[in-house]
Amino acid sequence: MEPPLITLSNISKTYREGKTEVKALENVSLVVNKGETVGIIGESGCGKTTLSQITLGLLKQDTGHVRMIDENGKKLDEKLFYQTISSVFQDPWGSLNPRMSIFNSIAEPLVITRNFDKHEIKKRVYQVIDQVQLNTELLDKYPHTLSGGQRQRAAIARALISDPTLIILDEPTSALDVSVQAQILNLLKDLQEQNNLSYIFISHDLPVVMYLSHRIAVLYRGQIIEEGSSTDLMGQQIHPYTKQLFSSAFGKNKLDKAILDEVLDSSDQKVGCIYEFRCPEKLTQCANEAPNLIKVDSGREVACFLQPQKQTETK
């Protein structure tokens, strides 16, 4: 069996300000295979962006490690790691320098990390521009003259320029109109097939994540509480929080924001389940015992005492 492209093992991160500590991530483990999209979903403040920043090397984890392999199954050194991983963020204003032309913005990663001459850089820029279906006439223009969809296509081209194997997509469509969102999502799917790309797709928009992802991890207060294929999760949710997310996303019941705010503002460290305060299906043991992430027969992993009986602990 082919090894995973990237493995995140027991990642933890705590933010500290004075005497206040907030656990952004706690023992998060995740693998992404070649050509696969893994979606990360959860409410604001659950740790999604922290996880993406650690994966990209923009933020240092307190514990755990991130390991990426090459085509021969060997661990990449730091230099090659940063050449084979890239990102697309929610607002392309954050990744496109307003003082640089679209051409120079797209080419910048090659200028910084590769010893390419001007001819090679120009050739590569035109290749990725064609892939993202952006008109070459826009290359001499500046970000403020482009539409939101055009800027995001330029940001995707910039992510592709160094020929990565993994792209972190952090809310890449949430700032776009619905019709443009669909175009960008279809483009990302096409690019994945053409280039055998792997994606980590981070969003709070569950229908969008379901559309693009092969597998989904549900993050709550810095912990993965359920993980499985998008097909399995759409068919049946096991964890009560996952049920609530799906119910809210697909128009049945909205999340209770008052309870959410109270939970997220709480700095106390519970000894039991982190979801016990909100859970409508909690058991007596939930208040005093934290469930482990367990692999169930369906191939899913769930951190809940309400699981099917046959199970083996995996983490």
How many whole angstroms separate alpha carbon 232 and alpha carbon 223?
A: 20
Say yes or no to pLDDT of 230 above 70.
Answer: yes
Question: For strand 6-17 and strand 20-32, is the pairing parallel, antiparallel, or unpaired?
Answer: antiparallel
pLDDT digits (tens, 9 = 90+) for 4-13: 899 999 999 9
Going by pLDDT thresholds of 50, 70 and 90, the confidence category of residue 158 is very high
The model's pLDDT over 113-136, given as tens digits with 9 standing for 90+, comes to: 777 889 999 999 999 999 999 999
pLDDT at 253: 52
Q: Which residues pair with 30 in a beta bridge?
A: 8
Does residue 313 have a pLDDT over 80? no
> Could you tell me if 59 and 47 are in contact, meaning their C-beta atoms sit under 8 angstroms apart?
no
The backbone torsions φ and ψ at residue 69, rounded to the nearest 5 degrees and listed phi first, read: -110, 160
Give the pLDDT of residue 309: 46
Q: Encode pLDDT of 21-49 as tens digits.
A: 888 999 999 999 999 999 999 988 899 99
281 CB neighbour count, 10 Å cutoff: 12
pLDDT at residue 233, rounded to an integer: 92
CB 222 within 8 A of CB 46: yes
- More confident position, 309 or 207: 207
Angle, helices 118-131/148-160, rounded to nearest 10 degrees: 130
Q: What percent of the chain has pLDDT over 70?
A: 90
315/300: higher pLDDT: 300
Q: What is the pLDDT of residue 89?
A: 87
Mean pLDDT of 188-197: 95
Mean pLDDT score of the chain, rounded to an integer? 87
The answer for residues whose C-beta is within 8 angstroms of residue 178's C-beta and 6 or more apart is none
pLDDT at 262 over 70: no
DSSP classification of residue 160: H
Average pLDDT over residues 289-310: 81
**Helix, strand, coil percent content, the chain, rounded in steps of 5:** 35, 25, 40
Q: Which ranges of 141-271 does DSSP label H, i.e. alpha helix?
A: 148-160, 178-195, 206-212, 230-235, 240-249, 257-265
Cα-Cα-Cα-Cα dihedral sign, residues 197, 33, 36, 79? negative
Q: Identify the band that residue 18 occupies on the pLDDT scale cut at 50, 70 and 90.
A: confident
Task: Tell me if 66 sits within 8 A of 7, measured CB to CB.
Answer: yes
Name the strands in the sheet holding 223-229, side by side, starting at the edge strand that comes first in the sequence: 85-88, 166-170, 198-202, 37-41, 215-220, 223-229, 301-302, 294-296, 311-313
> Can you give the pLDDT at residue 312?
46
- For residue 259, pLDDT beyond 70: no
Helices (H) and strands (E) in the chain, counts: 10, 12
